[in-house]
């Protein structure tokens, strides 16, 4: 049974101050996810999680993660700005970008962030724009398909990211000549994997690659970055990824591959996003209309511009009709937003309790790649983000957009003035 971490009474009270739709995040949930992750990897003294900023780029939430000891994983100029403004610096920041502008590399170097190079040609580009640091990471792409046993997980051979095995060797040789002294390697081979064998299998691939690269180049390896990709149970019948199993089995691969090799030891880094905040964010929206035509529709005050995963990937997000948690699911609805796009549906053919205009819906597991992927199509405005703190109070951590924000980029013209 999936449950919302707020009740109808709480949501109604909050909505009197912060009108729907809004996002609300659970501080307690986010802290417990990081603590569980750190515990599972505590066998590795240098372990560190670099939260993938793109998953939920709210400085108030990232500050909580900073208190828990996390760094940030950035891939753009503004994500670096956000990190710098919170006091992240040097080893606190991984810069895992691709198709990177010169100014972004220059800024990352100014912050002394750990740079994760996506391509061989970026070596010269970085040398010209910021310079080659002493410690640097290379993003690996083994090609082909990736899986465990006969479980298919991902298609690295089709992915735009990373370097081929020969390019890794050439890259490290070239970087050593240019002054690099310590290396890390990184790969992201599958996304949203609740399969507990994904991370251990990925770790084994990266550990073996590090050993091979050390042997061929003599380079010093200081870390392996397992990147993101641990999934969350969006569906009611799915189980959360078993983080203790994952930690233990990454350790087993480490003991088998790294410990007996000339590398001997290295730090494990992760760049999880979804796993850290995904289950701990809810989009709360009110039903505005019930429409009965060829199907039953519930039209809400949120739309795909607030949460695009269902429209973009056909992703499942569980919906709780607040206050009706214990009523039987007797009716089949499409839950829609108001975009002039027929894919603007949070759910299709979803069994829900009898629902009427005025009811509040909690769209669950929206805490990662939710608000962050929002946009302004159809002139829709981004919602507020709220934080349910550990003491039970609610703090606004981003205000809702107003029409003035929407028109702000016409500030050079006299055509539109909004106050």
Ligand X SMILES: *Cc1c(COP(=O)(O)O)cnc(C)c1O
Question: Of the candidates 380, 300, 410, which has an alpha carbon nearest to the alpha carbon of residue 345?
Answer: 300
Output 228 or 337, the one with its CB closest to ligand X: 228
- Cα dihedral across residues 45, 220, 134, 79: positive or negative: negative
* Contact assessment for residue 47 and residue 41, using Cβ atoms and an 8 Å cutoff: yes
368 touches ligand X (CB under 6 A): yes
Nearest to residue 230, comparing CAs of 244, 213, 243? 243
Cα 359-362-365 angle, rounded to 5 deg: 170
- Does the protein bind ligand X through residue 274 (CB under 6 A)? yes
> N- to C-terminal Cα distance for the chain?
46
- Residue 154 engages ligand X in binding (rule: CB under 6 A): no
Q: Of residues 172, 272, 319, 321, which one binds ligand X by CB under 6 A?
A: 272
- CB of residue 257 to ligand X, shortest distance in Å: 22
The answer to the question of residue 249 lying near ligand X (CB under 6 A) is no
| Interface segment toward ligand X; rule CB under 6 A; list 268-276, 296-304, 396-404, 408-416 | 268-276
> Shortest gap between Cβ of 51 and ligand X (angstroms)?
9
Q: How far is the CB of 97 from ligand X (least distance, A)?
A: 8
* Of positions 48, 54, 324, 382, contacts ligand X by CB under 6 A: 54
Contact between 370 and ligand X per CB under 6 A: no
Angle in degrees, CA 78, 269, 397, rounded to 5: 40
Considering beta carbons, is residue 219 or 226 the nearer one to ligand X? Answer: 226
Contacts of 295 (CB under 8 A, 6+ apart): 332, 333, 334
Stretch of 29-37, 81-89, 269-277, 389-397 lying at the interface with ligand X (CB under 6 A) = 269-277
d(CA 236, CA 269): 30
Question: Is residue 52 a contact partner of residue 271, using CB atoms and an 8 Å limit?
Answer: yes
- According to the binding rule CB under 6 A, does residue 55 interact with ligand X? yes
The binding track of 185-204 with respect to ligand X, each residue x by CB under 6 A or -, is ---x--x-------------
Residues within window 62-101 making contact with ligand X, judged by CB under 6 A: 73, 96
The one segment of 2-10, 145-153, 222-230, 281-289 that binds ligand X by CB under 6 A = 222-230
Q: Which stretch binds ligand X (CB under 6 A): 121-129, 227-235, 291-299, 317-325?
A: 227-235
CB 280 within 8 A of CB 5: yes
Nearer to ligand X, 6 or 52 (CB): 52
Q: Which of residues 126 and 335 has its CB atom nearest to ligand X in the complex?
A: 126
Single out the segment in contact with ligand X by CB under 6 A; choices: 13-21, 48-56, 205-213, 350-358: 48-56
The smaller minimum CB distance to ligand X, of residues 94 and 287, is found at 94
- Residue window 321-360: x/- pattern of binding to ligand X, with contact defined by CB under 6 A: ----------------------------------------
Instruction: Tell me the CA distances in angstroms from 73 to 161, 246, 300, one per residue in order.
Output: 16, 21, 34
Could you say whether residue 228 binds ligand X (CB under 6 A)? yes
Residue ranges binding ligand X (CB under 6 A): 52, 54-55, 73, 96, 188, 191, 227-229, 271-275, 368
């Amino acid at each position: 049974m999936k449950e919302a971490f707020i009740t109808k009474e709480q949501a109604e009270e909050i909505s009197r101050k912060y009108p729907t739709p809004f996002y609300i995040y659970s501080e307690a949930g986010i802290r417990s996810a990081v603590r569980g992750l750190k515990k599972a990897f505590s066998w590795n003294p240098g372990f560190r999680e670099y939260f993938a900023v793109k998953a939920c780029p709210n400085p108030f939430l990232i500050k909580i993660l900073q208190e828990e000891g996390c760094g940030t994983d950035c891939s753009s100029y503004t994500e670096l700005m956000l990190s710098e403004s919170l006091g992240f610096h040097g080893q606190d920041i991984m810069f895992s970008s691709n198709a990177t502008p010169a100014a972004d590399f220059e800024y990352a170097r100014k912050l002394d962030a750990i740079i994760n190079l996506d391509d061989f040609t970026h070596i010269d580009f970085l040398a010209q724009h910021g310079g080659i640091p002493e410690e640097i990471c290379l993003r690996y792409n083994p090609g082909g398909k990736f899986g465990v046993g006969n479980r298919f997980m991902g298609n690295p051979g089709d992915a735009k990211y990373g370097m081929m095995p020969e390019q890794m060797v050439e890259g490290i040789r070239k970087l050593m000549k240019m002054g690099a002294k310590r290396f890390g390697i990184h790969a992201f081979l599958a996304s949203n994997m609740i399969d507990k064998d994904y991370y251990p299998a990925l770790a084994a691939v990266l550990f073996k690659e590090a050993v091979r690269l050390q042997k061929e180049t003599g380079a010093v390896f200081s870390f392996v970055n397992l990147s993101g990709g641990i999934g969350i149970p969006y569906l009611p019948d799915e189980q959360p990824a078993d983080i203790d199993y994952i930690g233990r089995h990454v350790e087993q691969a480490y003991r088998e591959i790294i410990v007996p090799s000339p590398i001997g030891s290295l730090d494990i880094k992760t760049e999880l996003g979804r796993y850290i905040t995904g289950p701990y964010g809810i989009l709360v929206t009110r039903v505005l209309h019930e429409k009965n035509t060829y199907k039953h529709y519930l039209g809400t005050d949120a739309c795909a511009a607030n949460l695009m995963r269902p429209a973009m990937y056909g992703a499942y997000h569980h919906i709780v009709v607040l206050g009706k948690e214990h009523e039987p699911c007797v009716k089949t609805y499409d839950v829609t937003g108001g975009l002039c796009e027929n894919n603007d549906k949070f759910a299709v053919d979803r069994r829900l309790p009898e629902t009427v205009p005025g009811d509040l819906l909690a769209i669950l597991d929206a805490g990662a790649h939710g608000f962050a992927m929002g946009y302004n199509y159809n002139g829709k405005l981004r919602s507020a983000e709220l934080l349910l703190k550990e003491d039970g109070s609610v703090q606004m951590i981003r205000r809702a957009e107003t029409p003035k924000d929407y028109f702000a980029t016409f500030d050079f013209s006299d055509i539109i003035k909004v106050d």
